[in-house]
Amino acid sequence: MADLDSKLSSVVGDRTAKVLGDGLEIKSVGDLMRHYPRRYMVRGELSDISALTEGDEVTILAEVFSSTNRPLRGRKGSIFEVVVTDGTDKLSLTFFNQAWREKELKVGRQGLFAGKVGVFNSKKQLAHPDYEMIPDGNDVDAAASSFAGKFLPVYPATSKMPSWKISRCVEMAIDSLDEIEDYLPEKIRQAHDYPTLHQALVQLHRPADLDSAEKARERLTFDEAFLLQSLLVLRRNELKKLNTASRKTITGGILEAFDKSLPFELTGGQKTVCAEIERDLAQDHPMHRLLQGEVGSGKTIVALRAMLAVVDSGGQAALLAPTEVLAAQHLRTIEKLLGDLAQGGKLGSQDKATQVTLITGSQSAPARKAALALAASGDAGIVIGTHALLGEKVEFKDLGLIVVDEQHRFGVEQRDALKEKAQKPPHLLVMTATPIPRTVAMTVFGDLDVSTLRELPLGRQPITTHVIPVMEKPGYLERAWERIREEVAQGHQAYIVAPRIQAGSDENADIDFLFGTESSDIASVEELAPRLHGDALSGLKLAMLHGRLSTEEKERTMTAFAAGEIDVLVSTTVIEVGVDVANATIMVIMDADRFGVSQLHQLRGRVGRGTSPGLCLLVTNAVAETPARARLDAVAATLDGFELSRIDLEQRREGDVLGARQSGTQSHLRLLRVLRDEDLIEAARRDAQEIITASPDLTSYPALKNELNAMARDMAVDYLDKG
Ligand code: ADP
Ligand code: MG
């Protein structure tokens, strides 16, 4: 007898086990039981042959219609051709020199046929298909066959291991399985009216009817959500148990002075979130909080207030930014917001004041040395940097808070590397401007508390977005350049964004293209800028910005643009995150269909940040009624980042929804789809919380505890495997 951990070879024999292991990564009986059918074919219901297309790898159920054997002309050998039918259409199967197959492929018999659809003489065919004939009613072996049931499972298969062979292996496994222990707590199973784990696995492979297959699938999908949520709830509880220095807000400190100096009032949302963060920081266990908010919703102020609270307590805060442009900009913004309060250590400065310093990979040796000294001595209350902050030489006197900007670009490992630099576990605030649907957040950041800023600061002007379909309305593009001239004439500034740095070459792009790869006609910064300067935008001050410029050049250009010395910035997506020039009012995005929905939303968030309305024009060659155009229309139709991120995620593969760095999680999600299965995930979260509240170390649920331990071990290994 076998259990899920048993080696596959003990059930199906060495040879078959090797084929399953090599081709499908199925190593244990458990792996096989969790190799779920993609769908079922119903005995007697033949596949639709007319729906097959050339190149498809198919498994079909069909009936033999006729067979012929004919000698090849001009050479030795013969072709045995079998025509199968679904009752309406026909498909031919061809075999070279195998007339003996006539005995198996008898006219009138049904079978499963698998292979790659080819076309010969404009007829669809399968050459040398794998097949398995289904025993008919009189067949003595019928009951013993793997096709005894009414529903024939169709598995993800390989050419060496067609679906029905997998099916036969699964049958053997099921027959040798001892009762599987169920890790799902009994009361949860009953509350959902789910089958036991054993029943569910058996029913999914060998369903009595489609309802029970569906119920089995639901239970196993729920399991994935439940196990993951349990793990996240446990991890969160662990974090809550860690001890750290509490950073209570004080009166008469730098935070209070900063609040007094702010020229505007915080929005209601900002106040709420700030209060949540203050409460977290006052605890003697570390905060783990995700702050998500629309582009321009004012996350920076919220984060800065948290940093100042830590400075007031005698500690330091580190702000980790994804790019050098953004790190430099954070420095500028924060210095500007703090004013005198950032002039600590200088003659005549306020005694509450601190210092802000920048650490990046490309700064000069003396600048870096000075910055390292400020961080190590604790004189810099705020240290801003790129991943250079994680470097060995970077030391802090008392790192109390880590703020990570634009989370999607940093892995957990990087967060952890920075945490190592603190004496006690630091508080953590993760900011993201890409709003994440709730269940994605629960799955990816389930160990973080979530704060959301939904409203934009008062006085913020809405952004209007239009699609410019060059194919249909070539004149509109002229109008776009005119609009830029108009804005500039009124003293405003413009962005033009192109997908590429240089014409023709993919390597020069600052982004990975999400959609399509053909490259010839895609707009590039280096081609566009001089052309516009010599023509549609002549007389305006244009500058280029992209990832291949040196840090100093980038820095100089951004500073000049911020100072209003440049009218039009022609740029790649390097300006995507965080760049904040309030005087910029118009953005023209070339070949906008090359960007993802959320990315376009991010990009346009760069305009309309001041008191004048923003305009964003999405230029595209995509024609009406195509998916590319539909995406652009969606961006033009709404400013709701949550809705757009949903649209964006729905177009991606599941792995991309969770992000590559979630591969550890990913390998445990076979059935669960975080967008589709929202209700299930919500329910699983509630159930996990209930169970863990009742039994915090799961002593009452030993089977669950075992399963979670195994999963945690597995995920840690996955993590290391990634290097
Ligand atoms: P985010 O980082 O969320 O994209 P920022 O923090 O950069 O947004 O804020 C965008 C702009 O709005 C900044 O210029 C900031 O100074 C300003 N701002 C932030 N909060 C407020 C507020 N409560 N009232 C008015 N302006 C605000
Ligand atoms: Mg920001």
Ranges of each domain in the chain: 1-42+150-173, 44-139, 254-453, 463-638
Higher pLDDT residue, 76 or 578? Answer: 76
Q: How far is the CA of 297 from the centre of ligand 1 (A)?
A: 6
Average pLDDT of the segment spanning 278-294 = 91
For ligand 1, atom 10, which residue shows the shortest CA distance? 296
Q: What is the pLDDT at residue 303?
A: 97
Q: Can you list the pairs that 628-633 forms with residues at least 24 positions away whose Cβ atoms lie under 8 Å?
A: 628/515, 628/593, 629/467, 629/469, 629/593, 631/593, 631/597, 632/467, 632/592, 632/593, 632/600, 633/467
**Amino acid making up residue 655:** G
Residue with tokens 């069909």: 62
C-alpha of residue 246 to centroid of ligand 1, in Å: 28
- CA 227, 229, 230, 231 dihedral sign is positive
Pocket of ligand 1 (CB under 6 A): 264, 266-267, 270, 293, 295-301, 433, 457-458, 580, 609
What pLDDT is recorded for position 711? 86
- Most confident range (mean pLDDT) of 210-219, 291-300, 345-354, 543-552 is 210-219
Q: Return the closest-CA partner of residue 434 out of 301, 598, 656.
A: 598
What is the CATH topology of the domain spanning 463-638? Rossmann fold (3.40.50)
Which of these ranges, 431-435, 454-458, 521-525, 692-696, has the smallest mean pLDDT?
A: 454-458
Q: In angstroms, rounded to a whole number, what is the distance separating the alpha carbons of residues 590 and 624?
A: 17
| 518: phi then psi, degrees, rounded to nearest 5 | -65, 140
DSSP string, 670-721: SS--TTTTHHHHHHHHHHHHHHHHHSTT-TT-HHHHHHHHHHHHHHHHHHHH
Rounded to the nearest angstrom, the distance between the alpha carbon of 578 and the centre of ligand 2 is 4
Q: What's the CA gap between 29 and 11, in Å, rounded?
A: 8
Cβ contact 383:413 at 8 Å: no
Q: Which amino acid is at 602?
A: Q
Give the pLDDT confidence of 562-609 residue by residue, as tens digits: 999 999 999 998 876 556 788 999 999 999 999 888 889 888 988 877
Assign a CATH topology to domain 254-453.
Rossmann fold (3.40.50)
* Cβ–Cβ < 8 Å for 145, 158: no
At CA 195, angle to CA 189 and CA 197, rounded to 5?
85
Which residue is closest in CA terms to ligand 1's atom 23?
266
Domains 254-453 and 463-638 share a fold: yes
Q: What is the CATH number of domain 44-139?
A: 2.40.50.140
Return the ligand number nearest the Cα of 291.
Answer: 1
pLDDT for the residue 667? 66
> Tokens at residue 50, please?
């007319």
Going by the DSSP 8-state scheme, the letter that residue 573 receives in this structure is G
Whole-number pLDDT of residue 567: 97
pLDDT exceeds 50 at position 660: no
Mutate to test the pocket of ligand 1, among 262, 301, 407 (most ligand atoms within 8 A of CB): 301
CA dist list (Å): 292 to 281, 334, 435, 462, 541: 18, 19, 6, 19, 36
Relative orientation angle of helices 678-694 and 210-241, to the nearest 10 degrees: 50
Confidence of residue 509 (pLDDT cuts 50, 70, 90): very low
Q: Round to whole Å and give the CA distance between 117 and 128.
A: 11
Enumerate helices (H) and strands (E) in the chain, giving the number of each. 24, 21
Which residues lie at CB < 5 A from ion ligand 2? 300, 578
Per-residue confidence (pLDDT) for residue 32, from 0 to 100:
95
Alpha-carbon distances, residue 518 vs 162, 521, 522, 597 (angstroms): 35, 8, 9, 20
- Write down the pLDDT at residue 517: 40
